[in-house]
Amino acid sequence: MTTMTENASGLREFKMPDVGEGLTEAEILKWYVQPGDTVTDGQVVCEVETAKAAVELPIPFDGVVRDLRFPEGTTVDVGQVIIAVDVAGGTAPAMEPEVPAREAPAQQDPAQESPAQESPAPAEAPAREPQQKPKPEGRTPVLVGYGVSEASTKRRPRKGVPAQQPEAATAAPAAAAIQSELNGHTPPAARPLAKPPVRKLAKDLGVDLATVTPSGPDGIITREDVHAAVASAPEPAATEAPTPTPARAPAQAPAPVVTYDGARETRIPIKGVRKATAAAMVGSAFTAPHVTEFVTVDVTRTMKLIEELKQDKEFAGLRVNPLLLIAKALLVAIRRNPEVNASWDEANQEIVQKHYVNLGIAAATPRGLIVPNIKDAHTKTLPQLAEALGELVSTAREGKTSPAGMQGGTVTITNVGVFGVDTGTPVLNPGESAILAVGTIKLQPWVHKGKVKPRQVTTLALSFDHRLVDGELGSKVLADVAAILEQPKRLITWA
Residues that are catalytic: 466
How far apart (Å, rounded) are the C-alpha atoms in residues 399 and 401? 6
Tell me the sheet residues that pair with 464.
Answer: 291, 434
Residue 225 Cα distances to 195, 211, 483, angstroms = 12, 10, 70
Confirm if 228 and 207 have CB atoms less than 8 A apart. Answer: no
The residue type of 311 is Q
Confirm if 303 and 325 have CB atoms less than 8 A apart. Answer: no
φ/ψ (deg, to 5) at 288: -95, 125
How far apart (Å, rounded) are the C-alpha atoms in residues 303 and 412? 22
Confirm if 372 and 399 have CB atoms less than 8 A apart. Answer: no
Residue 6 contacts by C-beta under 8 Å, 6 or more apart in sequence?
12, 13, 87, 90, 91, 92
Q: What DSSP letter does each residue of 124-139 carry, written as one string?
A: S-GGGHHHHTHHHHTT
406 closest CA partner among 77, 51, 144, 145: 51
Confirm if 464 and 281 have CB atoms less than 8 A apart. Answer: no
Confirm if 467 and 434 have CB atoms less than 8 A apart. Answer: no
How far apart (Å, rounded) are the C-alpha atoms in residues 335 and 254? 55
How far apart (Å, rounded) are the C-alpha atoms in residues 11 and 31? 19
Burial of 386 (0-12, 13-18, 19+ CB in 10 A): buried
Confirm if 205 and 243 have CB atoms less than 8 A apart. Answer: yes
**Angle made by CA atoms 322, 325, 331, in degrees to the nearest 5:** 140
**Half-sphere CA count of 42, side-chain side, radius 13 A:** 0
How far apart (Å, rounded) are the C-alpha atoms in residues 6 and 12? 4
How far apart (Å, rounded) are the C-alpha atoms in residues 128 and 233? 43
How far apart (Å, rounded) are the C-alpha atoms in residues 294 and 288? 19
How far apart (Å, rounded) are the C-alpha atoms in residues 17 and 489? 50
* Element (DSSP H or E) covering residue 463: strand 451-465
Helix or strand or coil: residue 39? Answer: strand
The residue type of 68 is L
φ/ψ (deg, to 5) at 209: -60, -25
